[in-house]
Structure 1
Amino acid sequence: MNVEKKRVLKIFYLIATSSEELSSCELAKRIGVTERTIKSDIKQVRDFALDNGAVIKSRRGSGYWIEVFDSDKIQAIVEQLVIHFAYDSSLSDLSSEKRSNDILRKIIAQDGYVKLDDIAYELYLSRSSIKNEIKEARKVLESFNLGFETKPGFGSRIKGSEFDKRLCMLMLFEIYYHKAVLMFNHTQLMNYFECEDDVRNDIRHSFLKVLRESSCHIMDDYTQRIARYLILLRNRYKAKYYISFNPEKKVLLKSFKQYKIACDIIDELKKYGGYDVDENEILALEVFLLIWADIDSTSDLAGDYGEVYFEALTQLEKISERIRQEYSIEFFNCEWDKKIFLTGLIPIILKIKLNCEKNDMKSSVLFNDSVRLSPLSIKLSYSAIELLNEQYNTKNSFASHLIIAYRIYIIISKVKYDYSPIRMIICSMHGIEVARSIKNSIINKYSEKYFAKLDLYELYEMRALKYDDYDAVALNYPYFSYKYDWTFVLIELIPTDNQLQELYNKVILQGYQLKQFLEFFNFNKNFVFRDFNFESMESFINLISFKHGKESKFIHNIEYELNECVIKSIYNKTCILFINHQYVDHNIFEIYQLNEIKNINGEEISHIIVLSVDFNHSIKAFKFIEQLSHQLVIDRETIYLLTESEKLDNIIDIVRKGLNSEMISLV
């Protein structure tokens, strides 16, 4: 792309992404040219905008702005421009991670050495800046078992195995870059993902056909990734870049049923040309089928995974013991719990054995925010992954943490609280038969198992009833007619969905026996700290460690563990820090309301919640804290309820609120 065209696109990009009008002076300053140059380019900018669904408007003395008439068309163009100009420091505030990825895109597919000066010129970076970004790029490479090889006077190139290079290429391609191919010249990396659209679709459909006919399951997000890899495989093999596995790994890989499936996929693809590949390429494809497997807990894990299954069982017992020590709970209480956990543990152990455990191949399925809404699941995943890191002397990626966290949440979600069926009165101003009809509507919706009594009375008859014999009343009288102390809900002859939902929220949920947990935890009633301030997160963690550590040796342990997980403990401006109960001598629940919003590694926080609980072997108490922490991060109103009232009893209402979506099982 010539300089003039790039400048026209820059001008358009700035106008299209600005929330206010931009003057010629401001545009000139941002791009580094004169106002005269901007004004001479503006006709081309207008033509470009018109061709792509928008009009560039201007007002004398004010500036330029954009008006869109084809939103779909302009959105596609703007998206590409955002990607392309993202690393131009004069135009955006790009993270170091994205800049380092752009550097790697320029180098990884090159045969020879590449000089840093050339990369700096292409990416609008100074030489000093690119040296800093190289440090970040080196970390990315290390996560793929790769590294830089530098030769004075020649530059740098990437060294490592072909398999690891392809994994890294796939990651670099997937991070939004594959969308930016319509407007700009391809890099060498992009060339390896080149394929005619109809052939690309045929390859993907053929791969999925074989997958559907097999007993192997892959999450949809990963099938997209494997489909892209199949294009990369063909183009790299054609360019004579070959994968090689050692004999030990070959024996391991051939022991799994996925080897036959990988063979079938390659055989199916041979009709498209370029897939007459050697055994190593088939084994490489099998690796992806193994490490990205979506394992069904009802399948024959021992038969499908052999020695790896038994190795995973051994690690599960060690993880169970660590959780028992750190949290005082028996987490795996039945074979179902163990099988659920093994469906995540087996792929992680396979990643370790196949040297793929360090790379964060981000998936929109794994890296969405849902599991971060369960802070205690994330906390337990750290304990499990830390043990695996110790056992195998490695460092698993955050993707592995999330895989374990999902399994932990599934196991927690099946735990049921004790439930005391509700004793309820039903009363209708239209008589007993209408009251009986309302009763039938309630039973049809929620089942009789929720209720110990569903008794029918006239309103005047209720005066003779003992208060302790009932919990609630459902009636269709006007509210002002009701003079009793029982909880009541209004339900008409033909109940509305809202009325039945109110019955569930106000009455049925009261059957959960939750008060016992507050007595069990015995939290300090002075748990709110207002207008709190600190210099850095490290200083706050230091304070908490000294405040609660029961011995000097445990203070360091608290500091280390909290610093390790703090960044992954922030969501919705709330940071929840769990302290291992072994390090303290009492249960802790504290809310620190900050006097100003703090920025911690790009994450804003306004509240910090500190928790430490000895669960005393109660998995139900564990679930209670999981649901409390879950509600505190998804609904900020719950935090304000606690900080304003300073009443621990409101914790019960917060947990109940979170149970609205969880139907009660009385089986």
Structure 2
Amino acid sequence: MDLYSGRYIAILYEFFVSKQTFLTSEELAENLKCSSRTIKEDIKSLNAYLRQELIGFIESIPGRGYQLIIEDQGRGNQLKLMIERSYEFFFDKDVGRIKLRIFILKKILAVPSLEYADLLDEVHLTQSALRRDFDWIREFLQSYDLKLKVVNDAIQVKGSELQRRKAMLEAFCDNYYGLDDALLVKEFNSLFYEDDQEYENIRHAFLNILRPEQIVINDLSTKKLSAYICLAKRRNAANCRLSAFTDEEIDETEKLYEYSVVQKIFNDPLIAAGKWYDKNEVIAFTRMLLTHRDIDLSRHRDVETIPPVYLLKASQNLQSTLDCLKNTVWQELFASELFASLNAISYLLCCF
């Protein structure tokens, strides 16, 4: 079963937060806006999941209703935490809260150190009221291998310059995700560019070089990479430079078709103005372009520009998956045409 179905999460959430020992199918159906029959079917599926994961079960008592029984407290606590977070994701429609979190994130990323008291004064909230918001921000930063630290009542973000830029870029790009009316953080936006015309000039220069090349890139990725160039120029001007890549990473990147394209991009008079970049910037942007470009295996020119090392890795990953499945109960799969097809795909990836 897919536990990440919204209704399954909502049912378990009701059990975890309810002050009642028992919940009837009618009560659950009313809260979840569905039928009692649907609830009963869902309870059966949830029971199978809870028993399989050795967490517990949902007991049905005639005349009283359903009761969630947790047999393994450790697993039960983990499930509760996951359900609470998932419930917020599925059902928290407070867009204002999302905007507040993005606003705080931008404030934190805009400066090397932000006084906690100043932030609280600006958002007119207490530290306890922001606890869940900071949990969200901390998880966001952790996804970029960054850590949120409070040192002497000042908030700081610790981690590599490249990862910090990627996090800044994602926060900046809320403009493209329909949250452009979020609270404006001028000091954060100015880290990218002072006015829209500067950004547009960079974007046009970027596209003019990209179009003749054998690379396809969607509109959002174009905007993100253009904004990254603006950010990288300003970060270098502020002496916030990238760490050196390893010789192996440099050798691998220099062999990519994208590397030659990025060299052209960085040699453009508008983009290269001030000679702000070094070899590490070229390597970093090449790797970003590789991950943001569109690749269609049905297009011959795309296949020609895909680095063989990435096809080899894809083949190895697929073969590893096949080997793992071969040792499971999925024996029927390996006697079928599907297994032959998967093996053929793995072989073809090696042949490119």
Sort the Cα spacing of 1:100 and 1:332 in 2 relative to 1 into closer, same or farther, 3 A.
farther
Checking the alignment, whether the CA contact within 8 Å between 2:108 and 2:156 is kept in structure 1 is: yes
**CA-to-aligned-CA distance 1:470-492 (integer Å, 9 cap, x gap):** xxxxxxxxxxxxxxxxxxxxxxx
User: 3-state DSSP class of the match of 2:214?
Assistant: coil
Sort the Cα spacing of 1:184 and 1:304 in 2 relative to 1 into closer, same or farther, 3 A.
closer
What pairs up with 1:324-403 in 2 under 5 angstroms? 325=328, 328-329=332-333, 331=338, 333-334=340-341, 338=345
Q: Distance in 1 between matches of 2:339 and 2:98?
A: 38
Sort the Cα spacing of 1:105 and 1:203 in 2 relative to 1 into closer, same or farther, 3 A.
same
Checking the alignment, whether the CA contact within 8 Å between 2:148 and 2:158 is kept in structure 1 is: yes
Q: Which has the higher helix share?
A: 2
Amino acid at match of 1:159: K
Sort the Cα spacing of 1:296 and 1:337 in 2 relative to 1 into closer, same or farther, 3 A.
farther
Partner of 1:198: 197
**CA-to-aligned-CA distance 1:608-662 (integer Å, 9 cap, x gap):** xxxxxxxxxxxxxxxxxxxxxxxxxxxxxxxxxxxxxxxxxxxxxxxxxxxxxxx
Partner of 2:76: none
Q: Distance in 2 between matches of 1:181 and 1:96?
A: 14
Checking the alignment, whether the CA contact within 8 Å between 1:141 and 1:168 is kept in structure 2 is: yes
1:299 Cα shift? 4.5
Checking the alignment, whether the CA contact within 8 Å between 2:141 and 2:167 is kept in structure 1 is: yes
User: 3-state DSSP class of the match of 2:149?
Assistant: strand
Amino acid at match of 2:345: K
Checking the alignment, whether the CA contact within 8 Å between 2:259 and 2:286 is kept in structure 1 is: yes
Checking the alignment, whether the CA contact within 8 Å between 2:149 and 2:157 is kept in structure 1 is: yes
Partner of 2:278: 278
Q: Distance in 1 between matches of 2:115 and 2:320?
A: 49
Q: Does 1:106 align with 2:107?
A: yes
Checking the alignment, whether the CA contact within 8 Å between 1:258 and 1:289 is kept in structure 2 is: yes
TM-score (norm 1): 0.34
1:279 Cα shift? 1.1
Sort the Cα spacing of 1:95 and 1:242 in 2 relative to 1 into closer, same or farther, 3 A.
same
Q: Distance in 1 between matches of 2:301 and 2:256?
A: 14
What pairs up with 1:478-493 in 2 under 5 angstroms? none
Amino acid at match of 1:305: P
1:159 Cα shift? 0.9
Checking the alignment, whether the CA contact within 8 Å between 2:103 and 2:183 is kept in structure 1 is: no
Partner of 2:212: 213
User: 3-state DSSP class of the match of 1:206?
Assistant: helix
**Gap runs ≥5 in structure 1:** 1-91, 343-667
What pairs up with 1:32-431 in 2 under 5 angstroms? 93-94=94-95, 98-111=99-112, 113-152=113-152, 154-176=153-175, 186-247=185-246, 248-270=248-270, 273-297=273-297, 298-299=300-301, 301=303, 304-322=306-324, 325=328, 328-329=332-333, 331=338, 333-334=340-341, 338=345
User: 3-state DSSP class of the match of 2:150?
Assistant: strand
1:257 Cα shift? 1.4
Sort the Cα spacing of 1:179 and 1:314 in 2 relative to 1 into closer, same or farther, 3 A.
closer
**CA-to-aligned-CA distance 1:123-148 (integer Å, 9 cap, x gap):** 23221022332222111111001002
Q: Distance in 2 between matches of 1:269 and 1:337?
A: 47
1:177 Cα shift? 7.9
Amino acid at match of 1:107: I
Checking the alignment, whether the CA contact within 8 Å between 2:169 and 2:228 is kept in structure 1 is: yes
Checking the alignment, whether the CA contact within 8 Å between 1:141 and 1:147 is kept in structure 2 is: yes
CA-atom RMSD in angstroms: 3.3
Checking the alignment, whether the CA contact within 8 Å between 1:238 and 1:274 is kept in structure 2 is: no
TM-score (norm 2): 0.61
Sort the Cα spacing of 1:270 and 1:170 in 2 relative to 1 into closer, same or farther, 3 A.
same
Partner of 1:407: none
Q: Distance in 2 between matches of 1:230 and 1:115?
A: 29
Amino acid at match of 1:244: S
1:228 Cα shift? 1.5
Checking the alignment, whether the CA contact within 8 Å between 2:106 and 2:185 is kept in structure 1 is: no
Q: Distance in 2 between matches of 1:183 and 1:246?
A: 36
**Gap runs ≥5 in structure 2:** 1-92
Sort the Cα spacing of 1:140 and 1:95 in 2 relative to 1 into closer, same or farther, 3 A.
farther
User: 3-state DSSP class of the match of 2:114?
Assistant: coil
1:223 Cα shift? 1.3
Q: Distance in 2 between matches of 1:121 and 1:326?
A: 59
User: 3-state DSSP class of the match of 2:130?
Assistant: helix
Partner of 1:41: none
1:238 Cα shift? 1.9
Partner of 2:33: none
Q: Distance in 2 between matches of 1:102 and 1:271?
A: 29
Sort the Cα spacing of 1:310 and 1:301 in 2 relative to 1 into closer, same or farther, 3 A.
farther
**CA-to-aligned-CA distance 1:13-42 (integer Å, 9 cap, x gap):** xxxxxxxxxxxxxxxxxxxxxxxxxxxxxx
Q: Distance in 2 between matches of 1:197 and 1:94?
A: 26
Q: Distance in 2 between matches of 1:106 and 1:244?
A: 24
Q: Distance in 1 between matches of 2:301 and 2:218?
A: 16
1:163 Cα shift? 0.7
Sort the Cα spacing of 1:179 and 1:267 in 2 relative to 1 into closer, same or farther, 3 A.
farther
Q: Distance in 2 between matches of 1:160 and 1:218?
A: 29
Sort the Cα spacing of 1:331 and 1:109 in 2 relative to 1 into closer, same or farther, 3 A.
farther
User: 3-state DSSP class of the match of 2:111?
Assistant: coil
**CA-to-aligned-CA distance 1:188-229 (integer Å, 9 cap, x gap):** 211112244333222211111211121222223211211111
Q: Distance in 2 between matches of 1:119 and 1:105?
A: 11
Q: Distance in 1 between matches of 2:305 and 2:223?
A: 28
Sort the Cα spacing of 1:335 and 1:183 in 2 relative to 1 into closer, same or farther, 3 A.
closer
Sort the Cα spacing of 1:204 and 1:333 in 2 relative to 1 into closer, same or farther, 3 A.
farther
1:183 Cα shift? 11
Q: Distance in 2 between matches of 1:316 and 1:209?
A: 37
1:105 Cα shift? 0.9
Q: Distance in 1 between matches of 2:136 and 2:114?
A: 17
**CA-to-aligned-CA distance 1:257-299 (integer Å, 9 cap, x gap):** 1111111111115467245411111112112111112123135
Q: Distance in 1 between matches of 2:181 and 2:274?
A: 25
Q: Which has the higher strand share?
A: 1
Amino acid at match of 1:103: I
Partner of 2:57: none
Checking the alignment, whether the CA contact within 8 Å between 2:99 and 2:183 is kept in structure 1 is: no
Checking the alignment, whether the CA contact within 8 Å between 1:206 and 1:269 is kept in structure 2 is: no
